[in-house]
């Protein structure tokens, strides 16, 4: 959805809403109820940008913890621009959607080389940075610079779908256009920072996804869904995406007192993250068979299972992933240090268990790391002759 320019279509709220009253009530409520969030204390563009990127696909509580940790290590554009990718990905581990972290680094380098290290202050320049779409650019411009631009995130979409009592799903392009046009009309010239944050806050605290607490709502008098009794049906449901189940298996090779890990290719899913070799089970295969086959295909090493570590279940967009994790041993005659040939990775390392914490893994493998480090069999495998 383009938020770059105001719509040319007639303003959808004219005559339908007391815009001045809506603004005044929302702003008054936000002034009294705004949460104390770390990026709201400074309103520095760098911090607003970082928070907006982290809040995409991430719950507020988690984002706050990651934000504070990230900001301590990378307090400004310059330190982030000079960071090593492995360290940034490690700090991002657990947040998912790692392209966000890589785009942060790319954008920081662009700011350093093209803007003298100063965060840009125009919508066009902010929008041109890697990883910044129209919503994020609008949010940065309004929150950091108080520019009169809308910032329509999922919370704002939901609030406005209820206020306007829109009976079509939010996924419909015409609905997105209508909501965006309404947001352009509502945002006040001199108070965009508080107004946009207020709309988002209203969606987060009062007009929630599953329940709207209308008696506590500052804009209740302006809300068509509340007036018509349709609140529980708004937003109108979107068609559910088909869920895809994926079974995978991987092997944690223990050899010579060390563990084998490999780094994923830059053009693959989760680029640059580390993992244990493995992959998708084929029809009719057992998890052990899949692990052995995948190990051979990805590294040309022949391994045998040495005990199941755990079954890790995780979700990624519409995928429901079941990962079977195994300890494994190299078959006689196999030398993992010199005998591997990588086909799905750019680099492999043999590391001590204590060193695993320095590497960023996709969430399923990161959880497997936690499990294996507390598994008593690990110590036995590390110490035993092969």
Residues acting as catalytic residues: 52
Could you tell me the smallest distance in angstroms from the CB atom of residue 228 to ligand SF4? Answer: 10
Q: Write the CB contacts of 333 (distance below 8 Å, at least 6 apart in sequence).
A: none
- Of 149, 330, 147, the closest CA to residue 251 belongs to 330
The answer to whether the peptide bond before residue 235 is cis (omega within 30 degrees of 0) is yes
Does residue 236 belong to the site contacting ligand SF4 (CB under 6 A)? no
Q: Cβ 197 to ligand SF4, closest distance in Å?
A: 16
Task: List, in order, residues 6 or more apart from 31 with CB less than 8 Å away.
Answer: 194
- Which CA distances in Å does 299 have to 37, 63, 68, 285, 291? 46, 36, 39, 19, 12
Determine the interface stretch with ligand SF4 among 204-212, 235-243, 260-268, 282-290 (rule: CB under 6 A): 204-212
- Closest to ligand SF4 by CB, 34 or 121: 34
Site string for ligand SF4, 144-163 (x = CB under 6 A): ---------------x--xx
Closer CB to ligand SF4, 34 or 128, in the complex? 34
Could you give the maximum distance between any two Cα atoms of the chain, in Å? 81
Alpha carbon distance 285, 304 (integer Å)? 15
Question: CA 380: distance to chain centroid?
Answer: 38
Count CB atoms within 10 A of the CB of residue 246.
12
Residue among 143, 123, 144 nearest 201 (CA): 143
Q: Does 27 participate in binding ligand SF4 (rule CB under 6 A)?
A: no
Beta-carbon-side half-sphere exposure of residue 26 (alpha carbons within 13 Å): 32
Write down the least CB distance from residue 150 to ligand SF4, Å. Answer: 17
Q: How far is the CB of 106 from ligand SF4 (least distance, A)?
A: 38
The residue (of 102 and 234) whose beta carbon lies closer to ligand SF4 is 234
With CA atoms as reference, report the closest residue to 126 among 108, 113, 140, 116. Answer: 140
Q: Provide, rounded to whole angstroms, the least separation between the CB of residue 191 and ligand SF4.
A: 19
Smaller CB separation from ligand SF4, 229 or 239: 229
Report, in Å, the least distance between residue 24 CB and ligand SF4: 15
Between 44 and 220, name the residue whose CB sits nearer to ligand SF4: 220
Residues 211-230 that bind ligand SF4 (CB under 6 A): 212-214, 217, 219-220, 223, 225-226
207 binds ligand SF4 (CB under 6 A): yes
Total residues at the site for ligand SF4 (CB under 6 A)? 15
Kindly give the pairing relationship between strand 278-280 and strand 274-275. unpaired
- Report whether 82 contacts 109 (CB < 8 A): no
- Give counts: helices (H), strands (E), the chain: 16, 7
How many angstroms separate the CA atoms of 217 and 55, rounded?
A: 24
User: Which C-beta is closer to ligand SF4: that of 101 or that of 166?
Assistant: 166
- Of the residues 89, 187, 206, 249, which one makes contact with ligand SF4 according to CB under 6 A: 206
Minimum Å gap between C-beta 236 and ligand SF4 is 14
What are residue 347's phi and psi, to 5 degrees? -160, 150
The interface with ligand SF4 within residues 163-182 (CB under 6 A) comprises 163
Q: Output 26 or 140, the one with its CB closest to ligand SF4.
A: 26
Binding site for ligand SF4 (CB under 6 A): 159, 162-163, 206-207, 212-214, 217, 219-220, 223, 225-226, 231
């Amino acid at each position: 959805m383009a938020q770059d320019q105001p719509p040319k279509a007639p303003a959808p709220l004219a005559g339908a809403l007391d815009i001045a009253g809506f603004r005044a009530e929302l702003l008054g409520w936000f002034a009294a109820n705004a949460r104390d969030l770390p990026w709201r204390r400074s309103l520095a563009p760098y911090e607003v940008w970082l928070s907006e990127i982290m809040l995409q696909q991430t719950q507020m509580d988690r984002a706050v913890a990651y934000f504070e940790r990230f900001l301590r290590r990378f307090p400004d554009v310059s330190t982030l621009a000079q960071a090593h990718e492995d360290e940034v990905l490690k700090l991002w581990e657990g947040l998912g959607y790692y392209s966000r972290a890589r785009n942060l680094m790319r954008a920081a380098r662009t700011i350093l080389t093209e803007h003298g290290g100063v965060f840009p202050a125009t919508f066009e320049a902010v929008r041109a940075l890697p990883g910044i779409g129209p919503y994020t650019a609008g949010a940065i411009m309004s929150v950091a610079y108080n520019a009169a631009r809308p910032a329509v995130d999922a919370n704002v979409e939901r609030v406005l779908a209820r206020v306007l009592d829109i009976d079509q799903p939010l996924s419909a392009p015409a609905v997105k256009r209508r909501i965006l046009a309404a947001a352009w009309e509502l945002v006040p010239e001199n108070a965009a920072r508080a107004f946009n944050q207020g709309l988002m806050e209203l969606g987060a605290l009062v007009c929630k996804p599953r329940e709207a607490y209308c008696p506590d709502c500052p804009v209740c008098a302006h809300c068509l869904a509340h007036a018509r009794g349709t609140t529980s049906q708004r937003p109108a449901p979107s068609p559910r995406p088909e869920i895809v189940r994926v079974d995978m298996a991987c092997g944690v090779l223990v050899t010579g007192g060390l563990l084998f890990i490999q780094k994923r290719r830059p053009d693959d899913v989760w680029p640059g993250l580390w993992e244990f070799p493995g992959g998708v089970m084929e029809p009719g295969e057992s998890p052990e068979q899949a692990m052995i086959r995948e190990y051979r295909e990805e590294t040309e090493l022949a391994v045998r299972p040495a005990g199941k570590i755990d079954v890790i279940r995780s979700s990624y967009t519409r995928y429901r992933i079941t990962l079977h994790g195994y300890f494994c041993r190299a078959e006689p005659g196999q030398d993992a240090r010199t005998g591997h040939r990588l086909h799905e990775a750019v680099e492999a390392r043999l590391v001590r268990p204590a060193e695993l914490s320095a590497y960023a893994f996709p969430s399923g493998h990161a959880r497997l790391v936690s499990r294996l480090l507390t598994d008593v069999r690990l110590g036995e495998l590390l110490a035993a002759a092969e």
